[in-house]
Amino acid sequence: MAKKESLEDLKKIPRHVAIIMDGNGRWAKERGLPRLAGHRAGTENLRTIIRASAKFGIEYLTLYAFSTENWSRPKAEITGLLHILADVIDKELKELHEEGARLIHIGHLEGLPQKLQEKVRHAIELTKDNSRVNIIIAFNYGGRDEIINAIKNIIRDDIDPEDVDEALVSSYMFTSGLPDPDLVIRTSGELRTSNFLTWQSVYAEWYFPKVYWPDFNEEELRKALEDYSERERRFGGLVEES
């Protein structure tokens, strides 16, 4: 138990961790439950991971909640997911705010029910001055869509092609002003990036635990951080041997 409470064995903590919360449906199926029960269980797990992230000293936590491709799922499942998001805001916002969490949304709010858009905007406004941990919710988000959106806005702003570089493109991303992820975790054992932070994750370390998202607890997060702390990040270069 002492190991869980100590950070001494972690050589370095990633500043920004991003998570593809995968496996909710399979978690439910293995228990003879409807898929939506898995999504609700996964949503209830958010509280655990947000608190654990703050405890470990992670400054930014990005959660892939709903992709632009998820609109192709059955209508009943989409409606259920939207209701779950609204419930989470209603039930968790006050406590998250009191604990110093800042909520940020990336993606498109357009397409969501008007009342839900208002709830998300209220959550962002309420928590904008908090700084203990930054929670970035990727909802109605897709990496390619984000890049296309950035290109359109660069063209719209009549930017000289000679002025286009990585810094400028980054400034047009939904994540403008936020650090790129150091560690990306995809639960459930699937080895795909699924259109997540396509631009931002080029030099991130990736970690693929086999555990489904509803069972990805504080100890599983610690394992990911331990694995990360043993890696040597090169960002495309080489480290000289002493």
State the residue for tokens 């705010």. Answer: 97
Q: Where are the beta strands (DSSP E) in the chain?
A: 16-20, 60-67, 101-106, 133-141, 183-186, 205-207
Query: Cα separation of 146 and 180, whole Å?
Result: 14
Asked whether 7 and 56 are in contact (CB, 8 A), the reply is: yes
Is 24 catalytic? The answer is no
- For residue 183, give the 3-state DSSP assignment: strand
The residue annotated as part of the active site, out of 22, 145, 180, 182, is 22
Asked whether 119 and 90 are in contact (CB, 8 A), the reply is: yes
> Which residues are CB-neighbours of 189 under 8 A, at least 6 positions away?
23, 208, 209, 210, 211
Is 22 catalytic? The answer is yes
Query: Cα separation of 70 and 47, whole Å?
Result: 23
The residue annotated as part of the active site, out of 9, 70, 145, 149, is 70
What's phi and psi for 203, nearest 5 deg? -115, 15
User: Catalytic amino acids?
Assistant: 22, 70
